Structure 1
């Protein structure tokens, strides 16, 4: 009798009871131990949906800057999330020991192969796995190793300059943002799947360095196999679902999907694109092992890693090679294209800075210090203003638009003088650090001169370097940063030397933050320089 009365009560009051439980969970979130007194948007303390909505609007990077201006160094942006704005905390949160582990935001950004999610260097949360995998491939990303493929970058640069020259000769505006992606990266699409980076190098350059094969983006002047659209979709999915990562299991992260639909892996364009590129050079045999043709060993990453596998299969597996190559395809385009766009956009918006850079390049070329296709060592040693321009553009517009999330380790930690309990998500955004007016006066102004060393500013430079966070820090610092920097140091001076460039249309770009801060450039007018040093 009592049991039936209880059931009757639950049926009659089920909706009010559910609402009561929901309200109780919101209150519990708000007054979470150790976090309730940290300031932030009032709604954010109750629900992570505030953060999701902020990301959905596409301007979360500016929101972060404004929140820290309003609330200080610690800002609560979700019930269990604290944004930190203090460069002194970088060495703690992103310690080389890796005791602050990555959050559930990252595993979303991995491929599925052979019906299993395959963690890459970026997505794995295990520090032990990260150390083991990085040890296998780190040598391929050293500056010395990458410069063995420098002639391949020159080939892509030659093709790129020829394409831009055609626009100049026709006096036709060009969608430079898209072309920089073909040289290096991607564009806009629907809700899909996914850096850090860090996507960091142009598509055709990535193809040469990864597979010793151009992907064909420059030749086509457009997307190949839908890759740019697919990557964009992956970024949108990751940026949104990453705010509520528990939803991933109910969506494309559900392990039942690959069992019920074995062909689902063919939906992952990054994996299929990678396998296609591998098959253009070699093959994966029926037993799932990668084979490399004898005599085809080169300086590209596929050749290097296949050779390691052939010598010691326990050191490098086929799975390792496929995962790392696919990461290059995905992460090897976006961030560099974003940086290239930023450099040229800010130069065009600031003609006196453009002229100063042109003069530096012209003088060095006339003095015989530069090759026609500028070599990386020449750019590093002979063009100090170029290096300052690159640094300032990346400071002003970092490619990564969110904070790099980490979990506070066991026993908690003191951050900015405040005890933060274990398990709390904390992180630092490069946008916040790099727009700090106390470190970078007039932070929204493009001033490359601030990076030029003088006898008087060495301490200031050291402090700015400490706040430069575009490539991350610690054990998870972007492994592809050398590729990105090589590309920028080579293509930017070549374009500046050969062409006058100016913005058309509204002269203002549009930026949308989908984990990476992608820009839609206004049309650009190219004109061959009359006093070109070529």
Structure 2
């Protein structure tokens, strides 16, 4: 009997701790008991975990607000909000709403090995972002165009080969090869080789996929992350092992780069500098401000965040164009006309793409309908609590908004499930309406935590889409695609065929 009691003691302690935590949360948040939601969300995070596990939470989140209203309970002490006024309070300038503990799953458990995206320290994040924001700014894009063009050239060769063979292929996978190789060139000055090889190299993309799944799910039960990360790190198939692999990968790339002899040039004299070159120049100039760890951290951030978001967004643009032929025809007409006028180069420049109004509307509408991120941006209510959507949320409550919920708000985007780029052009005539649309448009996040690589992603999309549509015809193999949502809402079977178009000069 005593042995049985001893063996069951850990379970008894776990259950006791769980009940005490639940009672404490319920007492602290007693003023929010009226907030609706699925029954089990009052007692456990398991309901939310299971829904996220299913990989369709962007759809679940929209349905929850349609059923329960503006504020919905997702788990004990955790609430999803669909209220435009709350956006400014939670994510606006000077916000004190820090990232929630869910983001712990996206970093190494060692507190000294923090990275920018999951950093919950508002002050440190702001200081770090200031150090490197210029590397990702719009003004830096011109220096990266040559890198994008080099990968785009290889991508075009591969499309031509698929056209010659009349072979179906997974376009989402090839968009990721492109995005990964572009970020490799921008960061390290060389492609990773995905476009050249035509497949995942050394399991890098597979490792990244495991990181996304692991981090998304362990973040819900983040207290288990320090316990599981170490034992799982030895297995590449695990998310922890995938992160450990990517960390080693970045360290090797940096070591390879720094071991090469450098040309004797002054800072700023290189016509095209890589991200790593700029980082190392900044480190050498002020080692206290930019450390070796900063160089590593930003290199890792580029790898983890630099391919999926762009690949998903590229896929969303092409997918919706293929399933809306009139829109595709209008966009092609614009591209062909710009080409005829000499305003669209063989290698489409970023500036040229910005001058195409219909293309800009197409890109914006596609990212509205299929934002790369599909979970709420969870934040913690700061000391003193906060009034949100008619409820007082006490300190420590977790609140968040999901881009998908806002992007499908019929009050702002009538007929929201319809792909209609014209809505953005029409809104130009109604500044008040356009202001509201832009306020809740968040494919790259919100406020001070907006994706730092946003402009690089837009650069890659802006240069590639007009170019491939001018040169190739695409046909989707399936009427609809399947996706899975582990933070990023990623298509799993975007199968297409491609054939060469007649040259633009023959069409006009």
TM over 0.5: yes
Superposition deviation, residue 460 in structure 1: 1.9
For residues 358 and 350 of structure 1, what CA distance do their matches in structure 2 show? 13
Superposition deviation, residue 149 in structure 1: 1.6
In 2, are the aligned partners of 1:121 and 1:133 still within 8 Å (CA)? yes
Residues 356 and 249 (structure 1 numbering): CA distance in 2 closer, same or farther, change over 3 Å?
same
Is the partner of 2:207 in helix, strand or coil?
A: helix
For 1:414, the equivalent position in structure 2 comes to: 387
- Is the aligned partner of 1:293 residue 2:288? no
Q: Deviations over 1:206-238 (max 9, x none)?
A: 011111111111101111221101110000001
Q: Deviations over 1:247-302 (max 9, x none)?
A: 11221068x989xxxxx98971211221222233214xxxxxxx973438652111
Paired residue for 2:41, among 38, 41, 44?
Answer: 44
For 2:334, the equivalent position in structure 1 comes to: 360
In 2, are the aligned partners of 1:29 and 1:45 still within 8 Å (CA)? no
- Is the aligned partner of 1:182 residue 2:151? no
- Is the aligned partner of 1:493 residue 2:505? no
Aligned 1:64-463 pairs, distance under 5 A:
64-111=61-108, 118-183=113-178, 202-252=179-229, 268-283=244-259, 293-295=262-264, 299-381=273-355, 383-453=356-426, 456-463=429-436
Superposition deviation, residue 474 in structure 1: 1.5
For residues 154 and 430 of structure 2, what CA distance do their matches in structure 1 show? 41
Superposition deviation, residue 379 in structure 1: 0.5
Residues 75 and 369 (structure 1 numbering): CA distance in 2 closer, same or farther, change over 3 Å?
same
Superposition deviation, residue 95 in structure 1: 2.7
What is the TM-score when the length of structure 2 is the normalising length? 0.91
For residues 189 and 338 of structure 2, what CA distance do their matches in structure 1 show? 31
Residues 455 and 225 (structure 1 numbering): CA distance in 2 closer, same or farther, change over 3 Å?
closer
Residues 486 and 455 (structure 1 numbering): CA distance in 2 closer, same or farther, change over 3 Å?
closer
For residues 292 and 45 of structure 1, what CA distance do their matches in structure 2 show? 61
RMSD over aligned Cα atoms: 2.6
For residues 97 and 215 of structure 1, what CA distance do their matches in structure 2 show? 39
In 1, are the aligned partners of 2:233 and 2:241 still within 8 Å (CA)? no
In 1, are the aligned partners of 2:89 and 2:95 still within 8 Å (CA)? no
Superposition deviation, residue 521 in structure 1: 2.9
Superposition deviation, residue 412 in structure 1: 0.4
Residues 275 and 20 (structure 1 numbering): CA distance in 2 closer, same or farther, change over 3 Å?
closer
In 2, are the aligned partners of 1:439 and 1:464 still within 8 Å (CA)? yes
For 2:237, the equivalent position in structure 1 comes to: none
Is the partner of 1:404 in helix, strand or coil?
A: coil
In proportion to residue count, which structure has more helix? 2
For 1:199, the equivalent position in structure 2 comes to: none
In 2, are the aligned partners of 1:336 and 1:484 still within 8 Å (CA)? yes
For residues 282 and 340 of structure 1, what CA distance do their matches in structure 2 show? 33
For 1:476, the equivalent position in structure 2 comes to: 449
For residues 428 and 289 of structure 2, what CA distance do their matches in structure 1 show? 49
For 1:511, the equivalent position in structure 2 comes to: 483
Superposition deviation, residue 29 in structure 1: 4.9
For residues 479 and 404 of structure 2, what CA distance do their matches in structure 1 show? 23
Is the partner of 1:75 in helix, strand or coil?
A: strand
Residues 18 and 512 (structure 1 numbering): CA distance in 2 closer, same or farther, change over 3 Å?
closer
In 1, are the aligned partners of 2:49 and 2:220 still within 8 Å (CA)? yes
Q: Deviations over 1:326-347 (max 9, x none)?
A: 1101110111100001100110
Aligned residues: 491
In 2, are the aligned partners of 1:342 and 1:397 still within 8 Å (CA)? yes
Is the partner of 1:439 in helix, strand or coil?
A: coil
For residues 472 and 487 of structure 2, what CA distance do their matches in structure 1 show? 32
Is the partner of 1:500 in helix, strand or coil?
A: strand
Residues 446 and 123 (structure 1 numbering): CA distance in 2 closer, same or farther, change over 3 Å?
same
Unmatched tracts of structure 1, length 5 or more: 1-6, 184-201, 259-263, 284-290
Superposition deviation, residue 316 in structure 1: 0.7
For residues 32 and 54 of structure 2, what CA distance do their matches in structure 1 show? 26
Residues 294 and 528 (structure 1 numbering): CA distance in 2 closer, same or farther, change over 3 Å?
closer
For residues 426 and 242 of structure 2, what CA distance do their matches in structure 1 show? 51
Residues 276 and 415 (structure 1 numbering): CA distance in 2 closer, same or farther, change over 3 Å?
same
What is the TM-score when the length of structure 1 is the normalising length? 0.87
